[in-house]
Amino acid sequence: MTALCRDCFALAADGAKRCAACGSPRRIAHPELAELGIAHIDCDAFYASVEKRDAPELRDRPVIVGGGRRGVVSAACYMARRYGVRSAMPMFKALKLCPDAAVVRPNMRKYAEVGAAVRERMLSVTPSVEPLSIDEAFLDLRGTERLHKAPPAATLARLARRIEDDLGITVSIGLSYCKFLAKVASDLDKPRGFAVIGRAEAKTFLAGQPVRLIWGVGGKFAERLKADGITHIAQLQALDERTLVGRYGVIGSRLYHFARGEDERTVEPEHEAKSVSAETTFDADIRDFASLRRELWPLCEKVSARMKAAGLEGRGVTLKLKTAGFKLLTRAAQLDHPTQLADTLFRAAEPLLKKEAGGTPYRLIGIGLSHLGPAAGDQPDLFEPTGNKRARVERAMDAVREKLGRNAIATGRGIKS
C-alpha cells in the first residue's frame, strides 16, 4: 500500500489515517498509487469560486452566477447546490429554491484569465494536457517521475496546492490508468478532492454504477437501455460485445469496453478552437432594431476580448437569434480579412441583424467569430482609411482598460440609456 499526504506530500508504505510526518488527515492510500499516471483535473464550482475569491463578503453566502430572471444558472457554489440549484437551471427556479443567494453576472473575461492561469500551471508539470473546457483537462504524467523526482500522484498534489496558493481557487483530481476512469474519479470526492481508481477494482467499482456514468450515454439513450432492462453497468458486463453491437451499433462497442474499464484513448494536447462566441438572454423579449443593436455591441466586445486574450483572429461572422417561441435563427457573413476587433465584428453583424429585426420578438442574441487563426494584426484597408483609424482607437482603448480596468472607458454605443 502506498500513501500520500496531500499537505506535506510525504510518501509512505502504510495505510494509517494520519500522516506520520505532519499529522494531517488528508492522506490518500491505494495499492496502485505509485503506478497510475492519467489524471483529470476539474476546478471546483469554477465561476462561483472565482467570484467568492474576489468578494470576501460572499464567502459565507450561497452564490449563483448567471443572468437576469429569464436567464439560466451558469454556475452555483456548493452552498447553493445544497438547496438544489444546478447549472443550466432557469434563474427563476434557482431563486425559488435559494432565495437568499447572491446573484452575480458572469465575467467571462475574468474566468478566461483564471482558466488560462490554471492551464499554464498544468503545462508546467506535463506537456500532455488535453483541455475539455475552461476549467477542466486531462493530463498524462506517465514518464515524468524522473523530472519531478516523484510519482504522478505527488506531482498532482503539489499542483493542486500551487493552484490554490497562487490563484485562490481549488481543484479536484481523479487519477487512474485511463481517461474514462480518471474523469469518473474526479467527481467522487468534490470539492478539493483526490480520488483514485486502479485496475484491480475498476470492474467491481463500475458494476454498481448506473449506465449514465458511461461517456456518451445521455438521457434518451439511457431510456432506451432501460427499456431493454439495462439500468446498471453490471448488466452490460454480462453481455458480450457482439450482442451489444448488434443491438446498439457502434456505441455498443464502447459500452462493452467502458463497462470493463477499458479505454484506449490517449491524452491529446490542446485542440484548436473552432469559434469564439458570446450571447445574452433578455429579461423581456425585444423586437426593435435599435434595442437589439444596443445588446449586440457588448457581446462583440466580449468576443473581441477573448480573441485578443487567446491571440486569435477570425473571418467567419455568425449572428444568433432565438425567438420568444425558442426557434433558433443563425445568419452568417465572411470578412475580407480576419479580425479580432469588436468594431469590425459589430459592423459585419449589424446588417445581418437589421434584416431580422422589427417583426419577430427575440429572447436571446449571440455573436461569434469562426475560421480562426493566429492573430497577425488587422490588415490595413487602402479603400477605407477610417477603418484603420477605428482600429487604432480600439487598440488605444484596450491599453487604457488594461491599465485602469474594464470599465475605465467606453464607446458611445456601449453606453445604455
Active site residues: 136
The strand pairing partners of 277, in sequence order, are: 368
- H helices of 260-311, in order, are 289-310
List strand residue ranges (DSSP E) for 293-395, in order: 312-323, 328-339, 362-374
Angstrom distance (rounded) from CA 89 to CA 63 = 14
Angstrom distance (rounded) from CA 130 to CA 134 = 11
Angstrom distance (rounded) from CA 207 to CA 59 = 39
Q: Which of 212, 369, 395 lies closest to 299 in space, CA to CA? A: 369
* Residue 194 CB contacts under 8 Å (≥ 6 apart), including other chains: 6, 28, 156, 157, 160, 172, 173, 175
Provide the terminal-to-terminal Cα distance of the chain, rounded to the nearest Å: 66
Angstrom distance (rounded) from CA 323 to CA 362 = 4
Residues across the chain: 417
Cβ 314 vs Cβ 275: under 8 Å:
yes
The strand pairing partners of 328, in sequence order, are: 322
Q: Cα–chain-centroid distance for residue 60?
A: 24
Cβ 36 vs Cβ 198: under 8 Å:
yes
Cβ 252 vs Cβ 241: under 8 Å:
yes
Angstrom distance (rounded) from CA 308 to CA 252 = 43
Three cell numbers at 138? 486531462
Say how many CA atoms lie within 13 Å of 401 toward its Cβ. 14
The strand pairing partners of 3, in sequence order, are: 12, 29
Helix/strand/coil for 226: helix
